[in-house]
Amino acid sequence: MRKQIIRHFNLMESVTEQNRYLCGLNVQRKLNLQSQELGPEYKCRKKCFERVSEKMRKQIIRHFNLMESVTEQNRYLCGLISVLPIQHRRPRNVEAEANLREVSYSYRVRCAGDGVATEEIVCGNAFLSFHRIQRKKIEYLVSSLKTTGNAPKDKSRSTKCTYQKS
């Protein structure tokens, strides 16, 4: 991708053409960020999809899509994930050999209805489906929460739009 951009820059004649191209990239990035829809329903023992109505689910995805940047989305998602210590350890092997988890996670969803905002505890699959994100995104956020305690910053290069339409 980067080689294509550099090759495309070499073919452009002026700086204004380059700026127009970069603005187009920013617009495309923003459209990709805001084009997510509701995910599939799962059946879980917590009955997450029955507790959160479809109207609330649409409101959640609409709010999530209206966020400006990936960093803002990461902060929002990290605010909904709680890192909890393990309550019970029942290893089948000797503790030195056992592959034990360090922490467990709790996922919440913010629902605003009738002027009152509430938070519902949901399962991981419902959390993924409500926000229409992949499991790798959650793993990335969780690893950042475990190591630093903060939401990760977006590592992609951001290009500023200097071109002004007249």
Is the pLDDT reported for residue 166 higher than 60? Answer: no
Q: Is residue 138 part of a domain?
A: yes
Our count of domains for the chain comes to 2
| pLDDT computed for residue 121 by the predictor | 92
Range with the poorest average pLDDT among 27-31, 147-151, 154-158: 27-31
The answer, as to whether pTM is greater than 0.85, is no
Tokens of 158: 């951001």
Residues 5 and 83 reside in one and the same domain: no
Is the pLDDT confidence value at 133 over 50?
Answer: yes
- Domain limits for position 7: 1-33
Asked if residue 68 belongs to a domain, the reply is: yes
- Asked if residue 60 and residue 84 are part of one domain, the reply reads yes
In a domain, 93, yes or no: no
Copy the structure tokens of residue 38. Answer: 């509701």
* Domain annotation covers residue 144: yes
Return the pLDDT at 163. Answer: 46
Statement to judge: residues 132 and 58 lie in one domain? yes
Check if the beta carbon of residue 36 is closer than 8 Å to that of residue 113: no
160 part of a folded domain: no
Considering the domain architecture, whether residues 61 and 123 belong to the same structural domain is answered as yes
- Give the mean pLDDT of 98-125: 85
Q: What is the pLDDT of residue 115?
A: 78
Consecutive H or E run containing 64: helix 54-65
* pLDDT for position 7: 52
pLDDT at residue 77 greater than cutoff 90:
yes
Average confidence score pLDDT of the chain: 77
Listed residue (33, 40, 37, 78) closest to 58, CA to CA: 37
- In the numeric block, the tokens 């489906």 are attached to 129
Residues 14-63: tens digit of each pLDDT = 666 666 666 666 655 555 555 556 666 778 888 888 888 888 888 888 88
In a domain, 94, yes or no: no
Residue 66 has pLDDT above 80, yes or no: yes
Beta bridge partners of 105: 83
Gap between the Cα atoms of 12 and 7, Å rounded: 9
Q: Which residues contact 25 (CB under 8 A, 6 or more apart)?
A: 159
